[in-house]
Amino acid sequence: MNIVVCVKYVPDATADRRFESDNTVDRVGVDGLLSELDEYAVEQALQLKEKAEDPTSVTVTALCVGPEKAVDAVRKALQMGADEGVHVSDEAIAGSDYIATSLVLAKAVEKIKADKGQVDLVMCGMASTDASGSVVPAMLAERLGLPQVTFASVIESQGDQVRIKRDGDTATEVIGGTMPLVMSVTDQTGEARYPSFKGIMAAKKKPMETLALSDIGVDAGEVGLSVAWSEVADTTERPPRTAGEIVKDEDGSGATALTGFLASKKFI
């Protein structure tokens, strides 16, 4: 079985995040890391490998699209236990939206399939921690012509059959599918493992391939900010936090003052 896990390199939420002059997210000049939600996808891929009758027959490949520094996200996945890494890096990709990102990922998966044989499962996190779009897995499934099972909180597999539990606001669904397919997982699937010292050292010897757009058959004119279907028109820094207003209820007027404040902010 071949499993490809799509991972994303995102700005560290605790760092000083900012935008570039063209209003795209700065992914080069800030500290970044593997998206936490993608760690759950890596974890579930590794668990499927470990539960297989012959774990040595299962290959988990971490796939990332991003700038040069994005290779750190792949390295983290390798340290967790993934077998191989693929990093698609090209200056033309900068500013790409979901449409273009799904195209690059799909072409990269197709190249992995051409090089290594059938890709049985493409796994993704439920969303990225920077954009939180949750749409790339569906777009990826459409481009690859594969069925999709999304927002999995519990995963079971037997042979080429997969069954997931999806928790909604009002009900829980159980969905089954036959591989090959695309799957996204939630943060309810279980805590992702920490890389061990052994895993960190082993990751240095694992195969890592860096690809450009030309290597996967994508024209530079199909990606990037110039062809994005949406763009950020303007950004404004968040204003500094101001002191709160204290309402005293010495004469019984506190409720009226509080109601007036909430109404002025259109909370009620």
pTM, entire model: 0.84
What is the three-state SS of 190-218? Answer: CCCCCCCHHHHHHHCCCCEEEECHHHHCC
Q: How far is CA 10 from CA 27, 30, 70, 73, 82, in A?
A: 7, 10, 8, 9, 19
Task: Give the per-residue pLDDT at 80.
Answer: 97
Residue 30 has pLDDT above 80, yes or no: no
Dist CA 48 CA 68 (whole Å):
30
Dist CA 173 CA 219 (whole Å):
40
Task: Give the per-residue pLDDT at 161.
Answer: 94
pLDDT digits (tens, 9 = 90+) for 107-122: 999 999 999 889 999 9
> 35 near 76, Cβ under 8 Å?
no
Single-letter code of the amino acid located at 179: M
Least confidently predicted of 61-70, 169-178, 259-268: 259-268
34 bridge partner residues: 9
DSSP 77-108: HHHHT-SEEEEE--GGGTT--HHHHHHHHHHH
CA-based nearest residue to 69, from 9, 128, 129, 146 = 9
**Chain centre to alpha carbon of residue 131:** 9
Percent with pLDDT over 70 in the chain? 99
Task: Give the per-residue pLDDT at 211.
Answer: 97
209 bridge partner residues: 86
124 bridge partner residues: 184
Least confidently predicted of 7-11, 137-141, 194-198, 252-256: 252-256
Residue 239 has pLDDT above 80, yes or no: yes
